[in-house]
Structures are given as structure tokens and as C-alpha cells.
Structure 1
Amino acid sequence: MAPDATVDELAAAWAGGCLVVDVREPDEYAAGHVPGARLTPLRSVPGRCDELPFGRPVFVVCASGNRSRAAADWMSSRGVDARSVTGGTPAWARDGRPVVVGTAEHAA
């Protein structure tokens, strides 16, 4: 089972250039996401796990924590140091953290 991460833990790792994977749907991502987050809808996680780094944490976000928990658990079972961010993107935004609206180069 993947560990949970708080928004503060994500913020500290994000400031250091960590990988953030957003497992929401494209329309949710476009409505607002963590800057630099890589869009990987939950259904596509199994086919894209080989794109994830090994040996450094991957922070997984969604809208509430349910999809990120499932994705992080799946990633962890394959050796990725994945962490599900409690409260997801809404918690990030509520904390006054930066949010990008629209699609970005990291979307796929």
C-alpha cells in the first residue's frame, strides 16, 4: 500500500522539482491543476507505469484522494515510490498554492 502525503509534503517536494501525476480526467485537469503535473488519467496508469521514475517519489493527485490512492497503490506494487496526496488538487488550491488552468505541455 502506498503512503499518503499531505499538501505540505507535496509543496516541499514540488519546490524541489518532484514529479506530480494527476490521475483525473482531461476536463478536470484543464479546470485547474498543480503546475507541471503530468496528466495520466487513472485508466491509463497501467500502460504508462514504465514512464515513471524509480528511486524518487512520485506524488499522485486527483479530486479527493480515491483515484490517487488506487493509482499510487498500483504504482507502488510495481516498485514506484508513489504517494497519494490527501485531498488532492482541491486541497492544494485551498491552501493558496499555485494552480494552472487549461492544458499544459505535461498533459498527455
Structure 2
Amino acid sequence: MREVPLDALIEAHPLGATVLDVREQQEYLSGHVPGAIHIPMGEVPARLQDVPHAQPLYVICASGGRSQVSAAQLEAAGYEAVSVQEGTKGWIARGQAVVTGGSPN
């Protein structure tokens, strides 16, 4: 499983990067990366059909722990998944835009 610095996602996001947010629903609703797909970490193995085969697939959580686990699971299933260091907390701390509310996937 590969980790990438938050800067990699900050650079790729405006170019259409695919982001998978693996936090719990309430965390996602309270603020997430614009356009992020939401599948909680515990549901990822059972919902592989809902995960796009983007290259790479940026997996994000609050700070990096859950995204590492999920990225490893996805990699084992044949995805090019990378875990984003610093997570959503880092995204917000760097002044990046977030979306609140909405309907999680």
C-alpha cells in the first residue's frame, strides 16, 4: 500500500482526481473533499462494486489511519489505491474547500 502526501491530492483534485472518503457518515456529512465518494471503512470490502477503478484512487479519512487500511484492502482487490497522509484534517487545515451535508453514497 502506497501513501502520498496531502500535497499530491491538493494538486490532483482540480484535475479531476477520484477521492474515496472512508470516514463514518457523520464525519463525512460534517465536511468532506468536494466530489468525494463516501463508503465507510467497514463497508469497503462488501461494496467493491461501488468503488471506481480510478488510477490512482485517493483514499482519505480524518488523519490517515483508516485510509491506510482501506487502501491496502483495495490494493489487494486489484485497485490502484493510495492513502492520503494528513487526511481531511490536513485538507481543512490547509484552507482547502469542503462540502458539508449532502447524501453520502
Q: TM-score range by the shorter chain?
A: over 0.9
Give aligned pairs, total.
Answer: 105
1:34-66 alpha-carbon deviations (Å, 9 max, x no partner): 000011001110012233333611001111111
SS, match of residue 44 in structure 2 = helix
Deviating 4+ runs (over 4 angstroms): none
User: Which moves more between the two structures, 87-96 or 50-59?
Assistant: 50-59
Corresponding residue of 1:24: 23
SS, match of residue 82 in structure 2 = strand
RMSD: 1.2
TM value normalised by structure 1? 0.90
TM value normalised by structure 2? 0.93
**2: distance between equivalents of 1:14 and 1:43?**
25
Structure 1 stretches of 5 or more lacking a match? none
User: Which moves more between the two structures, 21-30 or 7-16?
Assistant: 7-16
Corresponding residue of 1:74: 73
Shift of 1:81: 0.6
**2: distance between equivalents of 1:88 and 1:94?**
10
**2: distance between equivalents of 1:66 and 1:43?**
13
Residues 55 and 19 of structure 1: CA distance in aligned 2, closer, same or farther (over 3 Å): closer
Corresponding residue of 2:33: 34
Q: Percent identity?
A: 40
User: Which moves more between the two structures, 63-72 or 42-51?
Assistant: 42-51
